[in-house]
Amino acid sequence: MASGAAVTLLIVFVILYGVERNLGSGSGLSSGPTGTLQFGSSGWYPYVMALSYTYSQLFGVVLGIICVTGEFRYNTASFTYLVEPRRSRVLSAKLIASAIWGLIYGVLTAILVTAFGALLCTVWRLDPGAFLRNALTYLPVDVAGFMLFTLIGVGIGSLIHNQVLAIITGVGMITIGASLLALISAIAPHVVPYLPQTALMAFERVPQDGNRITGGYRVLPWWGGGLVLLAYTAVLAGIGALTAQRSDL
């Protein structure tokens, strides 16, 4: 959690530093990290939050993976399944526990982003009031998105019991998929809206115009993005539960 918080605060600092530098030049943010979005506009805050959460949510995925794979890494799974032989019930308990911790993690990250962002806005004479007002609108879906990514981590961990391999797979699935959006769009444009990162941006209602990451790609409605993330969790956890019933410890 400390690592995720540190990365998140660094991203917020970099974004607002770019805003402060570019506003003073009168050129908007065309050369800054938020493309052509202006500070205080309807699309600026959710975009900043999305960039900040993109990196911290990776730690949420890792949190969910560790919740499952820690049992196999430290050989406690045998004792767990002796107490509760129904492995699907164990996995359900881990999903619930991870959802709670993902929610706590998301709330803490949201508080840090909001407080630190408002502080920087005050120091750099931007508009902390606009920053805080938008926070009340977009923070709930950002926190929920964090929790969904934690559940996806549980699904990955239930399918891949090796902790190191599961973490590499989970982080790679998100970061590499986001980096290859342009290539994937050219080869299979209909797949782009259903990638984890794109679905998360849709769920968090990130504006698709005027930014460099998602501009030009068709995205789902916010509820569709949430359903896609839940589907990832259900499919991964379902396959993991089925394979767990047949595998030896």
- In this prediction, residue 14 carries a pLDDT of 82
- The residues spanned by each domain of the chain are 2-246
| Closest to 144 in 3D by CA, of 2, 220, 208, 49 | 49
Q: Over the stretch 202-222, which tens digit does the pLDDT of each residue have?
A: 887 766 554 444 445 677 888
Q: What is the model's pTM?
A: 0.82
* Contact of 159 with 244, CB cutoff 8 Å: no
- In this prediction, residue 172 carries a pLDDT of 84
- In this prediction, residue 35 carries a pLDDT of 47
Q: Looking at per-residue confidence, does 96 or 247 come out higher?
A: 96
Q: Over the stretch 48-85, which tens digit does the pLDDT of each residue have?
A: 766 666 677 888 899 999 999 999 999 898 899 899 98
Percent of the chain with pLDDT over 70: 76
Return the residue matching tokens 């560790």.
Answer: 66
- In this prediction, residue 185 carries a pLDDT of 67
Q: Over the stretch 133-160, which tens digit does the pLDDT of each residue have?
A: 777 777 888 888 889 889 999 999 998 9
Return the residue matching tokens 């769009």.
Answer: 185
Going by pLDDT thresholds of 50, 70 and 90, the confidence category of residue 98 is very high
Going by pLDDT thresholds of 50, 70 and 90, the confidence category of residue 27 is very low
Mean pLDDT of the chain: 79
Going by pLDDT thresholds of 50, 70 and 90, the confidence category of residue 102 is very high
Q: How many CB atoms lie within 10 A of CB 238?
A: 15
Percent of the chain with pLDDT over 90: 22
Angle 196-203/163-179 helices, nearest 10 degrees?
70
- In this prediction, residue 162 carries a pLDDT of 93
